[in-house]
Amino acid sequence: MDVSREEAAAALAAIQRANHAARSAFRAHRGHYHLWLWGVVWIAMALLAQTRGEAGVRLFPWVSVAGLVASTVIGFLQSRQVRAPVDARFFGALAVLIGFAVLLPLVFRPRDLSPEIAFAYTGLVVAQAYVLSGVWFDTYMVWFGLVLAGLILLGLLVFTSYFWIWIAVCTGGAFLLTGFYVRYYWR
Amino acid sequence: MTRHAVPELDPLIHQPVRLQIMAALCHLAASEQVDFSFLKAKLDLSDGNLGAHLLTLEQAGHIEIEKTFVARRPKTFVSATPSGRKAFAAHVQALQAILRSQ
């Protein structure tokens, strides 16, 4: 097959255009919608705890369920355009991780479990799930999970007196910023 | 205009529309599939045009087409095969080699 340099350059430019179009179309199917959603959920939970105290903390399960429903809807809509087969081993590993994370408090039986500690513990389980997802799929999630875990521990151990504000601004912010990074710069 | 004989170039992939299709499909992760209508809209092609080129690429083993039902509606999902990805990568390398050559 004979191709001139001009034709080769034109073909490579066409590939670059198609890549660019594909990148902007397909990256809408990466994790950023979920990251933005959960950023808002975490900020909402932290602000509820900060402003309404115990009454706000009791709303956490409902806020989480709303987040899970919204995440499921987003996942369903995305899978109608770009889909990947369900990875049974990944979901199996995730179930094991969460199952044992639920069992651990039964072993330690914490009597004076404050909302801050309970939230930090749940947050660390979530961060662990992100790291696991990153090992399995996209490496950015490894880094995100590690940063999230670090921020949660900093809030719990160092910035104790304004824990909820820390969670809202830093970890909620980490979700939102990572969402922007994934949307505009990843791959 | 100097012309170069490059055996690695794949004439089937080199066709402009198919080049676009392969570039888009190879951008997806190996396990991902894209919906026919979504791909058609993103590449700005007609049903017939995209369908014909997909068939050619499928016959060459470069892509896989899966017809299924989602919410009781027929859906067609398309993905690049491992050999298609290799062929596309080799084609791009060949084009780059032409550019580098004197």
Complex confidence, ipTM: 0.75
Which chain B residue lies closest to A86 (C-alpha atoms)?
B31
- pLDDT, tens only, A7-18: 888 888 888 888
Q: Do B50 and B40 contact (CB within 8 A), yes or no?
A: yes
Which chain A residue lies closest to B7 (C-alpha atoms)?
A1
**pTM, entire model:** 0.71
Q: How far is A87 from chain B (nearest CA, A)?
A: 10
Long-range contact pairs involving A26-31 (C-beta distance under 8 Å, separation at least 24): A26/A82, A26/B24, A26/B27, A26/B28, A26/B32, A26/B34, A27/A182, A27/A183, A27/A186, A27/A187, A28/A78, A28/A183, A29/A78, A29/A81, A29/A82, A30/A138, A30/A182, A30/A183, A30/A186, A30/A187, A31/A138, A31/A141, A31/A179, A31/A182
Contact B23 A18 (CB under 8 A): yes
Place of tokens 């190879």: B26
* Strand, helix or coil for residue B69: strand
Is A26 in the B-facing interface, judged by CB distances under 8 Å? yes
Nearest CA to B93 among B1, B26, B2?
A: B26
Instruction: Decide if pLDDT at A134 tops 70.
Output: yes
Which chain B residue lies closest to A2 (C-alpha atoms)?
B5
Is B98 in the A-facing interface, judged by CB distances under 8 Å? yes
Nearest to A3 among B9, B38, B77 (CB): B9
- pLDDT, tens only, B16-53: 899 999 998 998 888 888 999 988 988 889 999 999 99
Out of A18-27, A97-106, A107-116, A134-143, the most confident range is A97-106
Is B74 in the A-facing interface, judged by CB distances under 8 Å? no
Instruction: Decide if pLDDT at A4 tops 60.
Output: yes
* pLDDT bucket at B77, cuts 50 / 70 / 90: very high
Q: How many residues comprise chain B?
A: 102
